[in-house]
Structure formats: C-alpha cells, structure tokens
Structure 1
C-alpha cells in the first residue's frame, strides 16, 4: 500500500483577484487529506470512510456515482487514475477538510492522489511536476476555471505569494479560528459572478484588484512580525464575522475562498480561541482551530 497526504489551505487575501493576475497570499494548514492505493485485481474501486464525505464505496467500472459526495471525491481521483493508466487498484480517501468550504479540499485530494498513485505506479515525480500535473487535472475537472493557488499550497506547503509566479515566503506559523457556515459553496459559480462584473466594469475592477494585491503584499511582513492587530485590520467582515468581532473578540475576520457559503477565518484576540469558537457556535457556525504555514504533500507509507 502507498499513502500520501496533502494539506488544505487558507487564503488570507486575494481570492478572486488572483484569477485576474493580481497578488494573493495563502498558507497551508494543519488539516489534511490522505489517499491510499493498493492492488485489487479485476476492478478499480474508490472508497471513503470519512465523515466529511459521508462514506461511500464505488466501483468505477460501473460508472455509477451514488451521491454528490461520491461525485465530488471521485472526479479528481478518477482523473489521476486515467493520467497514469492505473488499473486493478483500490483507492481510499480520508479527509479532515469539509468539501466545498473554501479550504482547498479538492486540491488536497488531487495532490495526495498524484503522489500516491504515481509512486504506486513506480513513477517518482518532483514537487514541481506534482504541482503542475495536479493543477492541470483540477482545471480539467473544473472545466477550465481554476487557479494554481490551491494545488501549489497543497504541494509545497508553507506560505506562498501567488500572481503570475508562485513564490514561497519564509514566515512563522499563524494560528487562526475557522468558522464553517455549513453551506457548501460553488467555486465555479462564484468566480463566474466576479468575472461577469469585471467585464461590465473593467476599470473599476482593475483598481479593486490592484488594491487587493497591495493588501496581500502588506500582510506578509505583518505575519513575520506576528502583528495580529494590524493584520486583522486588513480583513473584511460579513455576518458570521460580526459575531467573531463582537462577542468573540477577534482581532480581524473575513470570508476565505470564493464566498457564497464556505468558511470564514478569524485571528483570535486576547480572550483566546475558545471564546471565539463559542461565538461562532452561537452564530450557527461550526468552529475549529487551524494553523497556517504547515508542511506540504508528503509520503506517509510505501510498502
């Protein structure tokens, strides 16, 4: 059996702007997805026993997708299996990342699958090759609407500054509290909404994206200085965020990812993480702690 795991991600700033070439700042987090592959003669089977994916077992030879969760998970794994012409295998997915929540769950799965399946097929890829292939496959599955941000963070880990180039940043870990709204978002739909508005108001959006890029650049030294107060000032606010900045005492909070549901993130204030997590629960969200700047894809087991 060969097992690889890859981290989810949080984008601090620049989610929509990066699609149009502006700068985004993101980091890998300590929630991961793992993919295990082993020989299984006569079939190609993908299984999950993880609560986030609600559990399923699927024989890809039948071509049947039993649920939206099965479809979500298997589209990416199927693309990797086809890329390496892998047959007679069983693939098992485990994930601590909620699906469609803006935390890079699909990228974590595809990156972990690329490493695990390629190694099982006795093909050793460099991190650069894993990142490039994973981005191509994620873009293929998402009908061309994807940025390299999520797959790059899942591959390399740490922090990355993303624009026309992807540059690693040497920054210390940053502790956050994440609040999941429980409402899955559709990245493609949200990106399309922004792109339509950009076409209608190109000059306005050029200025907006430039401003977002400037915020991303300003954020990096604040993380380096562990300046949570000023970093919090750069964050936007929305409904669940109000609870965090009020009763929760957050230094700053914002939606992460494409929006339209998914997750918000907050920097804990002097009252600490537990107060913040309680405020999120009371506002109807699902809170959990996350640490940015974590390790990228890694081989967990090979035998």
Structure 2
C-alpha cells in the first residue's frame, strides 16, 4: 500500500481582488486529505468512509457510485488514475476538509492522489512536476476554473504570495479558528457576480481592490512579528470590503460577528469566494475554545487550524 497526504488551504487576504491583479496571501493548513493505493486484481475501486460526508464507493469498471454526494472527489481521483493509466487498484480517500467550503479540499485530494498513485507505480515525480500535473488535472475536471494557488499550496505547503506570480513566503505558523456555515459555496458564480458588478462600477471596484491588495501587503510583516492585534484589524477591514462587493451571506456574517462579540476574536472575516463556505478568526485573550463556542451558538461548525504547514508528503510505502 502507498499513502500520501496533502494539506488544505486558507486564503487570509485578497479574495476576489486577486482576479483583477491585486495581491493575495494564502497558507497551507494542518487539515489534510490522504489517498491510499493498493493492488486490487481485476477491478478499479475508489472508496471513502471519512470525507466530511457520507461514505461512498465507486466501481470504475461498472460506474456504480454509492453516494452522489461524493461525485466531486471521485472525479479528481479518476482523472489521476486515467493520467497514469492505472488498473487493478483500490484507492481510498480520507479527508478532514469539508467539500465546497473554500479550504482547497479538491486540490488536496488531487495532489495526494498524484503522489500516491505515481509512487505506487514506482514513478518518482518532483514537487514541481506534482504541482504542475495536479493543477492541470484540477483545471480539467473544473472546466478551466481552477487556480494554481490551491494545488501549489497543497504541494509545497507554507505560505504563498499570489499575484501574476506565486511566490513562497517564509513566515511562522498562525493559529486560527475556522467556522463552517454548512452552506456550500460556488466559486464560479461568486467570481462572475463580482466581475459583473465591477463592470458597472469600475472606478469604485478599482479602489476597493487596491485597498484589499494593500491589506495583503501589510499582512506578511505582521505575521512575521506575530502581531495578532493589527492582523485582526486588517481582517475586519478586509471583511467589510468583501461585504461591500456582495460576497457575504447571512450565515457568514452571523459567524463573523459572533466571533468578534462573544468569541472575543482579534479579527474575523470571510475566507474564499464567499456566498457560503467558511470564515476565519484570530483568537483573542479568551482563547480558541471561547471562539469555537461562539461559532457553535451562532449555528456554525468550528475547528482549529494552523497556517504555514507542511505540503504533500508520503505517509506509507510498502
């Protein structure tokens, strides 16, 4: 059996503005997806019992999928299997990342699958090759929507500064609390909605995106200095700008303001495309548990996450 795992990601600052050329800042987190591959003569099977949704199995020979909710995961693994012309194998997926939540679950699955399946076939790819292939396959499955950011973070880990280029940043870990609304988001529809509004008010959006890019530039030194107070202020400002362009939702705002109020957060904001998915908060003096309680009481699902974590890695090979 060969097993590899890859991290999810959080976009700390710069959502939507990065589409128009502003800088964004993202990091790999300590929530991971793993893919295990073992020989299974006579069939190709993809299974999971731990995907933040109901367990499923897929027999690629018959095309029988036991849970339609899991179709997104099987599409990525199937693309990797086809790329490597893999037969007579069983692939098992495990993940601590919710799907369609803006945390890079699909990128983590495809990157882990590329490493696990390639190594099982005794093909050793470099990290650069893994990142490039994973991005191509994710983009293929998503009909051209995918960004190289998610697969780069899943491959290399750490932090990335994202603009016209993707550059690594050497920064210390940052502890956050994530609140999941339970509402899946649709990245394509949110991006299209923002770009449509931008065409109506180009001057206003230019100023908003410039401000968001400026926040991203200010953030890295604050992470380096572990200045959570000022970083939290920037998060609050960035959230307000994201609300202004229409990507918030009632569920997201309830979690954000619960964190800032009863949760005692230093700052809180949407992460990702918005419209659903997740928000993030920096714990204040009251600590993570107080924040997590506030999220639960506001109807969300909380979990702790640490940014700046390790990228894809081989867990088992035998």
| TM-score for both structures, normalised by structure 1 | 0.96
Q: Tell which deviates more after alignment, 36-45 or 220-229.
A: 36-45
Residue equivalent to 1:286? 301
Q: 1:203 to 1:67 in 2, by over 3 A?
A: farther
SS at match of 2:153: helix
Residue equivalent to 2:64? 64
SS at match of 2:63: coil
CA distance in 2, matches of 1:117, 1:192: 35
CA distance in 2, matches of 1:282, 1:237: 24
Residue equivalent to 2:273? 258
Q: Deviations over 1:87-113 (max 9, x none)?
A: 111100000111111111111001100
Q: 1:234 to 1:68 in 2, by over 3 A?
A: farther
Q: Tell which deviates more after alignment, 291-300 or 194-203.
A: 194-203
Q: 1:164 to 1:184 in 2, by over 3 A?
A: same
Deviation of 1:30 after TM superposition, in Å, equals 0.6
Q: Deviations over 1:244-272 (max 9, x none)?
A: 00111000000111111111100000111
Asked if the contact 1:280–1:287 (Cα under 8 Å) also holds between the matched residues in 2, the reply is yes
Give the count of matched residue pairs.
303
SS at match of 2:237: coil
Q: 1:148 to 1:51 in 2, by over 3 A?
A: closer
CA distance in 2, matches of 1:111, 1:20: 27
CA distance in 2, matches of 1:51, 1:70: 8
Asked if the contact 1:232–1:251 (Cα under 8 Å) also holds between the matched residues in 2, the reply is yes
Deviation of 1:139 after TM superposition, in Å, equals 1.1
Residue equivalent to 1:274? 289
Deviation of 1:20 after TM superposition, in Å, equals 3.0
Q: Deviations over 1:120-149 (max 9, x none)?
A: 122211111111111111111111112111
CA distance in 1, matches of 2:206, 2:124: 41
Asked if the contact 2:181–2:301 (Cα under 8 Å) also holds between the matched residues in 1, the reply is yes
Pair 1:151 & 2:166 matched: no
Residue equivalent to 1:213? 213
CA distance in 1, matches of 2:39, 2:221: 48
Q: Deviations over 1:11-57 (max 9, x none)?
A: 10112222333211011111100001111111111000105131011
SS at match of 1:129: helix
Deviation of 1:237 after TM superposition, in Å, equals 7.6
SS at match of 1:270: coil
SS at match of 2:33: strand
Gaps of 5+ in 1: none
CA distance in 1, matches of 2:147, 2:236: 22
Residue equivalent to 2:245? none
Q: Tell which deviates more after alignment, 187-196 or 76-85.
A: 187-196
| TM-score for both structures, normalised by structure 2 | 0.92
CA distance in 2, matches of 1:122, 1:172: 35
